[in-house]
Chain A
């Protein structure tokens, strides 16, 4: 029998959040939980969760930070993820990308730096002590 187990706080707080195509936000967005942006955002976005910037979205932010980030829209600003960053084919990104893994689909437009935290194989690090 399924008992309503004490849901961990982070899970319970993580409501679904969508900023629709007809929405413009100027300011700071922060919090826990997954966030999908389909509209226009100017400011910064810092969430603990999955951040999706959908096709048609227009985001210009000083900071875009999330556990993982998927971009299919237009982004100006630096993207920082603790996990993966993925640029879909419709993405147009100007800024730096940082994450544990970075992937760009064919067709994605990108201008900036990529900083992926991965360990180089020992033969490439020129041998460490």
Chain B
């Protein structure tokens, strides 16, 4: 089954619900809900709450992130919003403003 790639030139305004992995290189405004992993690549812009499995963020996210597994904010990421996950890494060079909830 082909995965989902939201390419660099593409903008989605609305609700994205996925049973499979999602890679975002473009722009999403609205809501992103995935059962599997979500990758927000460098250059991507997500203005949405994100729910999903393991997440890797290297782009810009404005919105709350809720992961059933882990969240990795990589260098170059820019996140404004709250992050809820049992495991979180924030790399050197990642920008982050918000609360972290590790469910302790």
Instruction: List the interface of chain A (C-beta within 8 A of B).
Output: 12-36, 38-39, 43, 47-49
Contact = CB atoms under 8 A, between A and B. Distances in A.
Contacts, number: 106
Interface string B36-77: 000000000000000000000000000000000000000000
A35 B14 contact: no
A26 B29 CA distance: 11
Given A15-B25, A20-B2, A22-B20, A33 B7 contact: yes
Interface in B1-46: 1-20, 22, 25-27, 30, 35
27 contacts: A12-B8, A13-B8, A15-B8, A15-B26, A17-B9, A17-B10, A17-B25, A17-B26, A18-B4, A19-B6, A20-B3, A20-B18, A20-B20, A22-B19, A23-B19, A24-B16, A25-B15, A25-B16, A25-B17, A26-B17, A27-B30, A28-B12, A28-B13, A31-B10, A32-B10, A39-B4, A49-B9
